[in-house]
Amino acid sequence: MDQIARAALSPYETYTRAAWSTLSREAPMTLTLEDVVRLRSLGDPVQLEEVREIYLPLSRLLSLYVEATQGLHRATRQFLGSSQAKMPYIIGIAGSVAAGKSTTARILKTMLQRWASSPKVDLITTDGFLLPNAVLREEGLMERKGFPDSYDLPALLAFLTDIKAGKPAVTAPVYSHLVYDVVPGERVTIDRPDILILEGLNVLQTSRLPRDGKAIPFVSDFFDFSIYIDANEDDLERWYVERFLRLRDTAFRDPKSYFRKYAEIPQEEALAIALSLWHGINLPNLRDNIQPTRPRADLILRKSASHSIDTVMLRKL
């Protein structure tokens, strides 16, 4: 099948960065260079120009989606004669380790908050729903941290159920990247947001459906819109290793850091460890669990080797 035929059959409309950027010519830019520097993650070189060309049109598109979905919800409640509380719009962001999910999530959160309507926007990562290290060790899953079976899925589904139902003061566990574990007894409260962004490796993950059709819901069943951050495996590996080596000179030097031991070893040994972690844990997770979920996303942001987004793929309506 040639490229033209494949494009015709694809469920996505594909835009170059230049073409996508034209979709927001009249939209006001609400982020400054200082905002972008504050919001981007270590090793993610996103610039103000990329925010203007990629995230500004995306923010504009999401405003249309949110307004339409909320209008449909109000009409449905009126038809059913129900006075149910507002239903938050949930956006899921998926992708590999080092792909730039956190940067995308923080930029979108800030841009959405600055709409003229000033909606309440909250951001949660699935890290808080990882099983505690003590449980992972007991179950032999420490080397599979980040794989689907390392999460407390029932707790995550219960959280999303309460959020979607419009319940007030829903709490979620807190994860510390410094100590590499869930913080005992610490919770974050999400109180009826207009929009919730959920960011995580496996948020688009499915499981094999039972023949009786009685499966519990998937995390993505609660999403109104989903985004996948995509890149070549070689680039992801390079970004992961570069970030690991940068962390040796920053966060790893904190005496409380779980990875404190890596701050003192020679550069060559640190490089070998980073590559071992990538090929032993992160790459298998990417190939087996994360990358296969890419076609389930409503929007795919494709990154080039320079870590900048060069292609946008939007699912056709």
Residue 2 belongs to a domain: no
Q: What tens digit of pLDDT does each residue of 3-23 get? A: 555 666 789 999 999 999 999
Question: Which one is predicted more confidently, 266 or 6?
Answer: 266
CATH code where residue 148 lies: 3.40.50.300
pLDDT at 28: 85
Q: Which domain holds residue 29?
A: 8-75+84-315
Residue 316's pLDDT is what?
93
Question: What pLDDT, on the 0 to 100 scale, is given for residue 8?
Answer: 63
What's this model's pTM, rounded to 2 decimal places? 0.93
For residue range 116-160, list pLDDT tens digits in order.
Answer: 888 999 999 999 999 999 999 999 999 999 999 999 999 999 999
Whether residue 46 is contained in a domain is answered as yes
- Whether residue 3 lies inside any domain: the answer is no
- Would you say residue 161 lies in a domain? yes
83 has pLDDT over 80:
no
Q: Is residue 306 part of a domain?
A: yes
Q: Is the dihedral of CA 266, 96, 142, 181 positive or negative?
A: positive
57 lies in some domain: yes
Q: Tens of pLDDT along 154-170?
A: 999 999 999 999 999 99
> What is the pLDDT at residue 207?
74
Residue 211 lies in a domain: yes
Q: What pLDDT shows up at residue 6?
A: 60
Q: How many domains does the chain have?
A: 1
Work out the average pLDDT over 214-231.
Answer: 92
Q: pLDDT digit string (tens) for 20-43?
A: 999 987 788 989 999 999 998 877
Asked if the structure places residue 1 within a domain, the reply is no
